[in-house]
Structure 1
Amino acid sequence: MSTVADNPTLRALLSRSDLRLSLTGEDHLEPGTLDQAVRWVHSSDLSDPTPFLSEGLVLLTTGRQFQDAPDDPGAYRAYVHRLAARGVVGLGFGTEVVRDGIPPALVEACRSERMPLFEVPYRTPFIAVARANAEAIAAQAYARRSWALAAQRAIALAALRPDGLGATVAELARQLDTWVGMYDAAGELSREHPADGLDAATAEALGREVAGVLNRGARAGSSLRIDGTPFSLQTLGRGGHLRGVIAIAASDLDQEGRGVVTAVIAMAGLALEQQQGLSRARGALRAGLVQTLMADDPALARRIARELSGPLPAAPVEVAVTDAAASRTDAIAELLELRVDEKRGSLFFGRGDDGLVLVVPAGDRSVIDEVAERFGVRIGVSEPTGYDGFAAAVGQALVARERGSAPVTSFAEVGRAGVLSALTDEARALARAELAPLTDHDAHEGTRLVETLQVWLEHDCSHEASARALGVHRHTVRTRLALAERVLGRDLTSFATRAELWAALRALDPR
């Protein structure tokens, strides 16, 4: 952010040859003391002018306040201490008005407080010093406004280039003379200038901060420091529909600098909204391809997908379905768009009726794991299949998603539990009603019909094996089963009856 005008600093003021100002020495000053900005120049001969002063000010005095104690070191020390505490950045002493030269006690007091002290000769009026600083302030303000206009013009021209967003980011970085990065809605660093301008640790920490901003979903600007480097973050897009974040390796920009950044944010936001319209059209086309694949005839989908984003992943494939809410689906889709470009021919995705549907080569779940970890969603994954079994694979993925507890659950994991493990609360209610006659009989008569029936079915309807398991005679088993038939009004020799009773028993006691 260079300007053609000198900054209004004490060093610049002292360098004005027409003012003939003389610094008493700078060996006692802290580094950078003379380069502090001078906000104004004021003159006063009050013994305590601090109630009327502000920070960043240079004070001029003739020393009239010390006439009563011209050689009292304590008076000078107290005076300079008050000025330093108020934030005065320099003291000018007008000589040959009240006395010749600068009092040695004042020189020593300024040295003790590390306060710059300079002589204003008699032929240089105080008003000339104040006017010189005011002119420097005005010149700097004009230069900054001119810079801001030129910067905005350069950025507007950059936005017209083929990669308008990338060119805009690069131009902003050049104008601010610092690193600038643009993150997309998925938290990926999509553009930066200069390239690889951050070390790996800083880039990782900044990425986490950006992800937190995007997860909150609210428009905001924030500042932070990472290992001593200041950053400012500005969101892009509307609250609840953030399109990304611009990160700038700088803080405390002045009004003109903030104005340039605001212009970039406005242009970037507009460009991203326009891109969002194209993304919605692509999303609608992808959703249509998912419905086409659900017909288990991939011929049409293959032709369209090849033109859209490359060929479909080669079979066998695994089909995954997310449980992402609508507010996160857009961000996931943006990440997947990036991965489609990177993994051309190894990833397809689109919106389905029950979430985003992902298709990957069998055994390659890297993208699925990344989505689950980054966005905290649950994903079900089918068994390997060909496209002629796509609809069934989607069904498997939904079952795995609903029944799994891990971020990513495969159908093979839940399938090992068997069909009966998927019985719902409605099935258990029906099972209780089915077995109610036996449970009521056992409760009122002290019989063991439910237990006997369950053991008999578990032992493949063998009377001998059931008798051994129950510790009774086989004729007792036969008698109990005959009674169970009468109580239920069902024929236990029927396979359908046995299967239904077995399912009811398993629903109530899955073991």
Structure 2
Amino acid sequence: MAPTLASVASLPRLGLRGLTTASPDVPVRWVAVSELPDPTPFLQGGELVLTTGMWAAGPGEDGEFQAYVARLVARGVAGLGFGVGLGHAEVPPALVEAAERHGLPLLEVPRPVPFVAIGEAVSRALASAQYENVTRAFQAQRELTRAALRGSGALTDRLARELRGWALLLGPSGELRHAVPEYAGNRLDEIASELHRLAGGAASLALPGPVVVQAIGLGGRPRGYLAVGTPRTLNPVEHTIVGVAVSLLTLGSEAPRGDARLRAALGSLLLGWEPEEPPHPLRVLVCGADAPKGLENDPVWERCLAVPHPAGCVLIVSDPLVEQVIPLVEAYGPVGVGDPAKLGDVPRSLAEAERARPVSGVRRYAELPVRGLLGLLDGPEAEAMAERLLAPLDETLRASLRAYLEAGGLGDPAARALGVHRHTLRHRTRRISRLLDRDLEDAGTRAELWIALMLTQRAVF
């Protein structure tokens, strides 16, 4: 709250003395020093005007003082401070009479007190008030955010407490959703009858009371309305607090609710129940470990399931979202994309994404030339044969072999894909050759091992 003339006048170090009965409980927005007979062209209103009366060097005429004070009052100044001991030994009685007549607070400024000391005092008080305003707004924002985590009703409750007033949360048709306190619901009909004024795109409206109504939501069709009433007109800080509440309510109304049916289906699987298929097929993406960082600030994140995986991160998403997700995660490593799958076929989509994942960039399983050939080898006999071939290799060596083959036998890119030093990869490939008794430089051997890796991964997943 801005300092008042009374709070400035009460500072002992200034020694200011009130000379009129006008209430000093008026806010002071600045201090202006002027010796002009008419300083009003240089004022905006709300100032404490300081003068030594040089514009009235003599005793002055009553009419002169009356006109001077009238001009200040018309401009809306907070008060007048008259410095004695320079041009005037005391405040001219005619000035006191004029100030009393017009209801202007008049202060006597003692000779030892420089005007700059008054200016500094007001400046410090204004800075303190500004700090208090910022602090209050910050604390209110924090409390409102905490309340928003518990729902729109809790947020509305907290807002009413912050404003020391009442609040109504209305639906898009003006129906009552929450009132605090309960008697505030008595204002519903009055407020609902005015909501049509927001139909033209206006964000808020003011009603007698005072009452402020704001639309919730983005775009031309509100998702609801927030009405607040207070015993006095909202100050700028309180307008900010209401704006924060509206933003949080808008965020809650616009945020995606996630794929509820997908989550319900997965929950059914965990409980051992027969799941109901989600409305859209699912896709599995195999991405870099940091891929979730690309999604956290996007609404689509609420509609993805992220699972840690030895290859980085696996994302399960609804098929219509795939093209939205890929640009958000491809910066965090290569991305493999499986084919659309029903809930029970998600492991198959994961295996496809694993096979499709390139050394860099994005690749979909449907783009793999070898996809059709592997389909001809479908069956337990082929998978068992492939497993026997690769049996001497543990998971680390199998991953190294795959990276090496995907890189076309080039050690440096394969090592980078694995995140190991090239000498480490060279040591592993030599060990693979010894364990399998195969020459990795031979094109036929590479093809055979690649097919074996694909078949065994399909069997595992």
How far apart, in 2, do the equivalents of 1:38 and 1:137 lie?
Answer: 9
CA shift at 1:277, angstroms?
A: 7.3
CA shift at 1:7, angstroms?
A: 3.4
Partner secondary structure for residue 115 of structure 1? coil
How far apart, in 2, do the equivalents of 1:219 and 1:93 lie?
Answer: 48
Contact 1:217–1:242 under 8 Å retained in 2? no
Given candidates 218, 221, 229, the residue that maps to 2:201 is 218
How far apart, in 2, do the equivalents of 1:20 and 1:213 lie?
Answer: 53
TM-superposition CA deviations, 1:4-38 (whole Å, max 9, x none): xx631111111111111000131xx3xxx422211
Which residue number corresponds to residue 195 of structure 1?
182
CA shift at 1:213, angstroms?
A: 4.4
Which residue number corresponds to residue 77 of structure 1?
66
Which residue number corresponds to residue 266 of structure 1?
247
Change (3 A) 1:152 1:46: same
Which residue number corresponds to residue 98 of structure 2?
109
1:58 matches 2:41: no
Contact 1:62–1:95 under 8 Å retained in 2? yes
CA shift at 1:276, angstroms?
A: 7.3
- In structure 2, stretches of 5+ residues that fail to align are 262-461
Contact 2:210–2:233 under 8 Å retained in 1? no
TM-superposition CA deviations, 1:426-463 (whole Å, max 9, x none): xxxxxxxxxxxxxxxxxxxxxxxxxxxxxxxxxxxxxx
Read off the aligned partner of 1:260 and give its amino acid letter. I
How far apart, in 2, do the equivalents of 1:242 and 1:277 lie?
Answer: 21
Which residue number corresponds to residue 37 of structure 1?
27
Pairing of 1:108-507 with structure 2 (within 5 A): 108-161=97-150, 164-197=151-184, 200=186, 202-210=187-195, 212-213=196-197, 216=199, 218=201, 220-225=203-208, 229-250=209-230, 253-274=234-255
Which residue number corresponds to residue 16 of structure 1?
11
How far apart, in 1, do the equivalents of 2:35 and 2:15 lie?
Answer: 21
Read off the aligned partner of 2:251 and give its amino acid letter. L
Read off the aligned partner of 2:182 and give its amino acid letter. A
How far apart, in 1, do the equivalents of 2:29 and 2:54 lie?
Answer: 25
CA shift at 1:95, angstroms?
A: 0.9
How far apart, in 1, do the equivalents of 2:202 and 2:43 lie?
Answer: 39
Partner secondary structure for residue 211 of structure 2? strand
- In structure 1, stretches of 5+ residues that fail to align are 1-5, 282-511
Partner secondary structure for residue 48 of structure 1? coil
CA shift at 1:71, angstroms?
A: 3.9
Read off the aligned partner of 1:85 and give its amino acid letter. A
TM-superposition CA deviations, 1:192-225 (whole Å, max 9, x none): 2222136x3x432112113x246x2735211121
Contact 1:21–1:119 under 8 Å retained in 2? yes
Change (3 A) 1:275 1:183: farther
Change (3 A) 1:262 1:240: same
Contact 2:69–2:99 under 8 Å retained in 1? yes
CA RMSD of aligned residues (A): 2.3
Partner secondary structure for residue 35 of structure 1? coil
Contact 1:219–1:242 under 8 Å retained in 2? no
Partner secondary structure for residue 184 of structure 2? coil
Contact 1:219–1:239 under 8 Å retained in 2? no
How far apart, in 1, do the equivalents of 2:132 and 2:104 lie?
Answer: 30
Higher gyration radius (CA): 1
Partner secondary structure for residue 24 of structure 2? helix
Read off the aligned partner of 2:207 and give its amino acid letter. L
How far apart, in 1, do the equivalents of 2:184 and 2:48 lie?
Answer: 39
Read off the aligned partner of 2:244 and give its amino acid letter. A
Which residue number corresponds to residue 320 of structure 1?
none
How far apart, in 2, do the equivalents of 1:159 and 1:105 lie?
Answer: 60
How far apart, in 2, do the equivalents of 1:186 and 1:54 lie?
Answer: 44
Partner secondary structure for residue 238 of structure 1? coil
Read off the aligned partner of 2:139 and give its amino acid letter. A
How far apart, in 1, do the equivalents of 2:203 and 2:130 lie?
Answer: 28
How far apart, in 1, do the equivalents of 2:229 and 2:200 lie?
Answer: 22
How far apart, in 2, do the equivalents of 1:12 and 1:38 lie?
Answer: 10
The TM-score with structure 2 as length reference comes to 0.53
CA shift at 1:252, angstroms?
A: 5.4
Which residue number corresponds to residue 432 of structure 1?
none
CA shift at 1:78, angstroms?
A: 1.0
How far apart, in 2, do the equivalents of 1:74 and 1:109 lie?
Answer: 9
How far apart, in 2, do the equivalents of 1:11 and 1:35 lie?
Answer: 5
Which residue number corresponds to residue 309 of structure 2?
none
Contact 2:216–2:222 under 8 Å retained in 1? yes
Change (3 A) 1:152 1:79: same
Contact 1:231–1:249 under 8 Å retained in 2? yes
Change (3 A) 1:156 1:178: same
CA shift at 1:87, angstroms?
A: 1.2
CA shift at 1:99, angstroms?
A: 1.8
